[in-house]
Amino acid sequence: MTARDRDPDGRPRNQRPRDAFGRPLPHGAEGVERVPDDYAPSAEEALAEARRLLGESRPFHAHEVLEGRWKTAPEEERELWQGLAQICVGLTHLQRGNRRGAAALFARGAGRISRYGPPYEEIALTARELGGAGDPDPGAAIAAIRGLL
């Protein structure tokens, strides 16, 4: 049995490489560059990097950036960053063909961010629409969220 990779505080880390859609690959496989576990962006950095990654059709990696902000943000902002990260995971599920998982995460994320006002109300509305749509195109969905972020 191999020991789990843990940070200095004992929290587990997932060091498995990931593909462009965020799916785990076998240890030792060649994956795409990951966001470091200790990434702590400012709000502006997180939004700019998430937009860039969505522009490259990499919502899983945008989620990791937003998660980095969520973990380090002031308490009053954490719901916002968690909700944005969940919407990006919804986009990831959409890319992977998991409509049901996408809809659930769009709803969860929208519920968290809608109270933060513009532009987040519009992002929440778009996420809810995507969650209720029959079979949204992943590329168009990613572009729609990126355009509002």
pTM reported for the whole predicted model: 0.83
Q: List, in sequence order, every beta strand (DSSP E) within the chain.
A: none
pLDDT tens digits, one per residue of 114-137 = 999 999 999 999 999 999 988 899
pLDDT tens digits, one per residue of 76-104 = 999 999 999 999 999 999 999 999 999 99
d(CA 135, CA 53): 23
Fold type of domain 43-148: Hyaluronidase domain-like (1.10.3450)
Q: What is the dihedral of CA 130, 60, 64, 82, to 10 degrees?
A: 20
